[in-house]
A and B are shown apart, each in its own frame.
Chain A
């Protein structure tokens, strides 16, 4: 990457971050709720992007992990424990369950694996709904408190939004570092060619389990924020439809692209709100837009950008070769 391009990217990133901090200061309660929801769903989608986009393992259970995190936070904070403790429990629990859920992926792939994870999603939903002693069943858990962070209360929407945004920032840095590490490269190898990866010494079993476990743990992180965001949890939001929504966020944004979940969650969470002026038609417009996008670019929105950049690189390389050729021919 040329220095000019690098500065351009850094500048653009700084503007976006500044906008995410400053602009919401003027937002009403509902706008802040939607933005916080975007941050939370982006974290969950980043987890799924790691499992599906980078490591190539289909999962329809990410919503269940958000649910596990949300219930861990709801139960623990309602009983006076701090949210940070709930976060620890949610991460460890989701990591462990995700690791176990990864075992079927060692034997089955693609749609078969999708069905295995779908079955887990259903199982988790039934636990949330039927185990009243723990989850209060269909009545749910209400009055979930919002935490204090370093002595600052986050009861009001704006401070809580900043908590969600800060968490998204930390998770983003961690995921960025992970995908740039040798592990990230091994995940890509696992997705693109597991047989060759194995022959190069990559322990595909361990990386498969790790991809599931880390992705699930991020679902747990998102759930831990979801509970104090809505201040009420019941089983319905964590049904299969949340897993499908998260899957759509990853695919629409661009599966296997770092910024794919950011964009996908923005479209899934914010676009329906922006289209509300169309009244009864907004869901139809939204659905048609998604269908058209996936027909035009199955690799999502960032796939379009990637294709454009690849074509530009090829053109520049061809032009450079064309310039270099006459020079070589005229050389003594």
Chain B
């Protein structure tokens, strides 16, 4: 299988604190990799180093074989890499549809052609399709800020898919989402993974969600990789039980 994402020996220090310390792993095409570990173990910092939000102190990141270390997030998005954040990041004053159009518009032609092109960048159809896919039909024209937390989480995830990304990094997509919406979210992610072949890396604390969604799980502790394997292997790993899962 081809590696979509290759992370080699990534480290990130803040003063004397080594938040991420020599982490290496690959993510293969069509894979859903779960990333788990206790709070403060460096998961989100690792995401930020991969996605250009932070410059790693050391190491290299490749996407489809191309070195992207330190590349700006907007350039990475142009290469088909998308993300969600741990905290909600929708645009509250824009409607649900406008949020989705915004999420996809930079993939439509050049900056100048977008200025002189249609106001929706030709994306209303695609946005409505995504709205239907995430079951937000009745909220299409509502301002995103008026949606419930769970609905905003769904919108946040939907936005990450608008540009048709090859690789999506989701930071705690299930956080604060009720059980019904969580099942919806999981179904949607699996459908996009199977139908569109998108590759995912998912940070999550909800073990049931991770174990039922992911094909492989990586466990981090104190900035390092503690274990990597199939969900059942990881769940049975004594070191993981000791450091994170508990007895």
Taking beta carbons and an 8 Å cutoff, which residues of A are in contact with B? 178, 180-183, 185-186, 188-189, 192-193, 195-196, 198-204, 206, 314
Q: A183-B114, A203-B74 are in contact. Are A195 and B89 (CB under 8 A)?
A: yes
Residues of A within 8 A of B103 (CB): 200
Q: List 6 A-B contacts (CB under 8 A).
A: A193-B89, A196-B89, A199-B89, A200-B82, A200-B103, A314-B146
Whether B98 sits at the interface, judged by CB under 8 Å, is: yes
Chain B residues near A314 (CB, 8 Å)? Answer: 146
Are A206 and B111 also in contact (CB < 8 A) when A189-B102, A193-B89, A201-B74 are? yes
In the complex, chain B residues whose CB is within 8 Å of the CB of A186:
102, 105-106
User: Are B102 and A200 closer than 8 Å at their CB atoms?
Assistant: yes
Provide the bound-state CA to CA distance between A195 and B89, in Å: 9
B119-A196 in contact (CB<8A): no
Is the CB–CB distance between B91 and A188 below 8 Å?
A: yes
Is B94 on the interface with A (CB-CB < 8 A)?
A: yes
What's the Cα separation between A195 and B74 when bound, in Å? 10
Q: Which 10 A-B pairs have the closest CB atoms?
A: A201-B77, A201-B106, A196-B89, A182-B114, A182-B105, A198-B73, A180-B119, A182-B121, A199-B73, A185-B102
Give the residues in chain A near B90, CB-CB below 8 Å: 196
Query: Bound complex: CA of A288 vs CA of B78, how far in Å?
Result: 51
Residues in chain B near residue A206, CB distance under 8 A: 111
Q: Which of B72, B78, B94 contacts A185 (CB 8 A)?
A: B94
Known pairs A183-B114, A195-B85, A196-B85; list 12 more (Cβ under 8 Å): A181-B117, A183-B111, A183-B115, A186-B105, A189-B102, A195-B53, A196-B89, A196-B91, A199-B74, A199-B89, A200-B103, A201-B77
Q: Are A199 and B72 in contact (CB under 8 A)?
A: no
- The interface bits of chain B over 46-85 (1 if a CB of A lies within 8 angstroms of the residue's CB, else 0) are 0000010100000000000000000011100110001101
Quote the shortest CB–CB distance from B183 to chain A (angstroms).
Answer: 22
Number of interface residues of B (CB under 8 A): 34
Cα distance, A183 to B112, chains bound together (Å): 9
Task: Note all chain A residues with C-beta closer than 8 A to B119.
Answer: 180-182
Tell me if B188 counts as interface (CB < 8 A to partner A): no
In the bound assembly, the distance between CA atoms of A202 and B102 in angstroms comes to: 9
Question: Which residues of chain B have a CB within 8 Å of any CB of chain A?
Answer: 51, 53, 72-74, 77-78, 82-83, 85, 89-94, 98, 101-103, 105-108, 111, 114-115, 117, 119, 121, 146, 159, 162-163
A180 to B116 Cα, complex, angstroms: 11
B161 CB, min distance to chain A CBs, angstroms: 11
When the two chains form their complex, are residues B94 and A203 in contact, meaning their CB atoms are under 8 A apart? no
Looking at A202, A204, A206, the one whose CB has the most chain B CB atoms below 10 A away is A202
CB distance from B102 to the nearest CB of A (A): 5
* Minimal beta-carbon separation of B221 from chain A (angstroms): 27
CB–CB A198/B114 < 8 A = no
Instruction: Kindly state the separation between the CA atoms of A185 and B117 in the bound complex, as whole angstroms.
Output: 13
CA distance A181 to B89 in the complex (A): 22
Contacts of A193 in B (CB 8 A): 89, 91
Report Cα–Cα, A68/B93, bound state, in Å. 35
A182 contact set on B, CB distance < 8 A: 101-102, 105, 108, 114-115, 117, 119, 121
- Could you tell me the distance between the alpha carbons of A314 and B162 in the complex, rounded to whole angstroms? 28
Q: Quick check: A202 and B74 within 8 Å, CB to CB? A: yes
Q: How far is the CA of A121 from the CA of B73 in the complex (A)?
A: 33
Give the CA-CA distance A269 to B144 in the complex, in Å.
37
By a CB distance below 8 angstroms, the chain A residues around B53 are 195, 199
CB contact between B77 and one of A180, A181, A185, A200 (< 8 Å): that residue: A200
Query: Which residue of B83, B93, B102 has the most chain A CB atoms within 10 A of its CB atom?
Result: B102
Which of B53, B91, B92, B117 counts the most chain A CB atoms within 10 A? Answer: B91
Q: Which residues of B contact A192 (CB under 8 A)?
A: 91-93
Query: Min CB distance, A321 to chain B, in Å?
Result: 10
B7 → chain A closest CB, angstroms = 18
In the complex, which of the residues A181, A188, A198, A204 contacts B94, with contact meaning CB atoms closer than 8 Å? A188
Query: Are B114 and A200 neighbours in the complex by a CB distance under 8 Å?
Result: no
A124 to B152, CA, bound (A): 46
Contact A201:B83 (CB < 8 A) given known A180-B119, A185-B98, A193-B89 = no
CB-CB under 8 A from B108, the residues of chain A are: 182
- Residue among A182, A189, A192, A193 with max Cβ neighbours from chain B (10 Å): A182
Give every chain A residue within 8 A of B117 (Cβ-Cβ). Answer: 181-182
Complex Cα–Cα for A193 and B84 (A): 13
- Distance in angstroms from A101 CB to nearest chain B CB is 20
The answer to whether A202 touches B106, judged by C-beta atoms less than 8 angstroms apart, is yes
